[in-house]
Structure 1
Amino acid sequence: MVTSVLAGFAASAVLIVAIGAQNAFVLRQGLRREHVLAVVAICAVSDLVLILAGIGGLGAVVSARPGAVTAIRWIGAAFLVSYAIMAARRAARPSTLNPAERTPTTLGATLITCLALTYLNPHVYLDTVLLLGSIAQQHPHRWLFGIGAAAASLVWFAALGAGAHKLGPLLARPAAWRVLDGVIALVMLGVAVNLATG
């Protein structure tokens, strides 16, 4: 039983730590100290729901509907391109203000962005629903595997969101935020191109 939990934790951790759109967004929110708890909660609860759905058999349903996966892929790519453009504009615009001191984004706008980065990303379905769901089927205690996988997600997002402010001194200058936004723009664009050509 414990082996299944640990296997789920390890499998999820390997998949989730890779830099992507969702991780970049959580990092940015953590650095700004803006709606971090809500963002971490959405990411962790979403992973829990998707992991349990994959274990429950949603992966087979998704695989049987390639048209739906294609539609999600294109919608997700378009959203990521628009987010990349916004990040690139922030990077290109010189500012004397530290972004952490700028007018905060509303909770509603932050949550919509977080939900879009989570559910419009086909990689979430491939990794979380299909891959983790398939791996879980190989364990005698597949639901415990799922709990371990969800625990890894919670630990990662909480650490990323809460630990990001430790980078604050490194990002005290606006120029450093411009570099960060430039990196975020490249990551989002890279993921969007990967989705569109995928």
Structure 2
Amino acid sequence: MLTFLSGLGLGLSLIVAIGAQNAFVLRQGVRREHVGVVVAVCAASDVVLYAAGTGGLGALVQRAPGVVEVARWAGAAVVLGYGALAARRAWRGDEGALAAAPGAAVPDAGRRLRPVLLTALALTWLNPHVYLDTVVLQGSLAASHGDLRWWFTLGAVVSSVLWFVALGYGARLLGPVLARPGAWRVVDGVVAVIMLVVAAGLLLPAR
């Protein structure tokens, strides 16, 4: 149980910080747009990455810095692109987002599934920090628990699932607050700033 709780605490410490992925999940949750898909993609991705780290993939990642380097540049491009779109919505106002006010349905949600899915995958798998945190760091700490390493990993997995479910489905409680266009412009402005900061953090090490 102590090993499980240690993994749970580590998982929360790695994932709770607001970054590009969390900002995207939060926005989709408030809009009530394909929340289940986004939550499932993010949580399932963490399960795979945590398992890979515990299974020994972390050592391979450390020996292949080129993989992380490619992910860093690709991730920066995706984050910058999403940040630019959020900034544009903040500047112009996103009237479509208002359809997600409490009790309302999102128009043409079916046609939006593919870009939402691709964005969730890109913000998850093209973030180099996800490999360093979930695969290398978590894998190393799990290994230190010996035969109990999978209990440690299970704690980290549970923390990830709980976090994304709470973030995605709990965000709808903000719906009444964000029913006004001005509020949505603030949200998109904050999302744009977060994305740009994350992208800068990815690109600065290259200098």
TM-score with structure 1 setting the length? 0.95
Distance 1:159 1:67 in 2: 35
Say whether 1:131 aligns with 2:130.
Answer: no
Could you tell me which of 165, 174, 177 is aligned with 1:170?
A: 177
Which one of the candidate residues 188, 195, 201 is aligned to 1:194? 201
How far 1:98 moved relative to its partner?
A: 5.9
Identity of aligned residues (%): 56
Tell me what 1:66 maps to: 65
Residue equivalent to 2:17? 18
Give me the whole-angstrom Cα distance separating, in 2, the residues matched to 1:56 and 1:168: 41
2:98, 2:181 within 8 Å by CA — same for their partners in 1?
no
Query: Residue type of the partner of 1:7?
Result: S
Q: Following TM superposition, by how much is the alpha carbon of 1:169 offset from its aligned partner in structure 2, in angstroms?
A: 1.4
Q: Secondary structure of 2:177's partner? A: helix
Shift of 1:100: 3.8
Which residue identity does 2:47 align to in structure 1? L
What is the Cα deviation at residue 138 of structure 1?
Answer: 1.1
Counterpart of 1:114, as a letter, is A
Counterpart residue identity of residue 160, structure 2: S
Is contact 2:98-2:180 (8 Å) kept? Answer: no
Of residues 151, 161, 181, the one that matches 2:158 is 151
CA displacement, residues 106-140 of structure 1 (integer Å, 9 cap, x when unaligned): 11111111000000001111111111111111113
Tell me the equivalent position of 1:113.
Answer: 119
Between the aligned partners of 2:143 and 2:182, the Cα distance in structure 1 is: 48
State the one-letter code of the partner of 2:78.
Answer: F
State the 1:94 CA deviation. 3.2
Offset at residue 62 of structure 1 (A): 0.7
Coordinate RMSD, CA, aligned: 1.2
Instruction: Tell me which amino acid in the other structure corresponds to 1:18.
Output: A
Structure 1 residue corresponding to 2:97, chosen from 78, 96, 99: 99
Structure 2 unaligned regions, length at least 5: 100-105
Q: How many residues align?
A: 196
TM-score, normalization by structure 2 = 0.91
4+ residue stretches of structure 1 with deviation over 4 A?
none
Gaps of 5+ in 1: none
One-letter amino acid matched to 2:60: V
Query: Which whole-Å CA distance do the structure 2 matches of 1:27 and 1:59 have between them?
Result: 29
- Residue number in structure 2 paired with 1:75: 74
Amino acid at match of 2:123: L
Please give the alpha-carbon distance, in whole angstroms, between the structure 2 residues aligned to 1:180 and 1:132: 32
